[in-house]
Amino acid sequence: MEGAVLMPFKDPAAQREYQREWMAARRADHLAGACCVDCGATESLELDHVDPALKADHKVWSWSETRRETEIAKCVIRCEDCHRARHAADRIRHGRKRYQKGCRCEVCRAAKRRDNAWQRPRVCTDLNGKGRIVAKGSRVRLELDDGEVLVLDRAELLHAIETRKAARVDA
């Protein structure tokens, strides 16, 4: 590329199309030769996070290689049908005739809150450029800038804080 001048796209639609094709090519390269861990299919493959609480985002194909590989290491490859079946088994379904957004019984509402809790960060605290702490659902995730991720249950974190406070009082 010596002597080439890279100009930003003047047409936003052309830029979006280029980026979409670029990310699709990255995805295709990664999934080439792979098969579903459940049924062995080689078509319509997707990444499935083993533990949704560790999921940073689903748009991994535009990330740098190290960050992308760190996120992909938390995943297994499943075909679209097996991926849907796996997550459908986690959901409780009751009658949907009356309400457009699903059943409103207390069991279903509690299950929906539980399932959606990991998606909504409750607290996000920056660690002065060294990482961040994200509290989601019943877990607390510590994301360090070097790529390391630690996940603690809130009860474990609260116990560690209380133990540390007690040690300070005794000292």
**pLDDT tens for each residue of 75-118:** 899 988 888 888 776 665 565 555 556 677 787 777 777 766 65
Check residue 147 and give its pLDDT. Answer: 73
Q: Is the pTM of this model over 0.75?
A: no
Quick check: is 39 in a domain?
yes
pLDDT tens column, 21-44: 988 999 999 899 889 888 888 888
The DSSP secondary-structure symbol of 139 reads: E
DSSP 103: -
**β-bridge mates for residue 152, sequence order:** 140
Residue 124 falls within a domain, yes or no? no
In a domain, 117, yes or no: no
**150 in a structural domain:** no
**What does the pLDDT average to over 145-160?**
73
Residue 65 is assigned to a structural domain of this protein: yes
What letter does residue 117 receive in the DSSP assignment?
Answer: H
Is 50 exceeded by the pLDDT of residue 1? Answer: no
Task: Please give the C-alpha separations between residue 161 and each of 107, 153, 168, in angstroms, as whole numbers.
Answer: 33, 13, 11
The count of domains in the chain is: 1
**Nearest Cα residue to 155 out of 142, 143, 139, 168:** 139
Structural domain boundaries enclosing 21: 9-90
Instruction: Supply 108's token pair.
Output: 């279903």
Asked whether the predicted pLDDT for residue 73 surpasses 60, the reply is yes
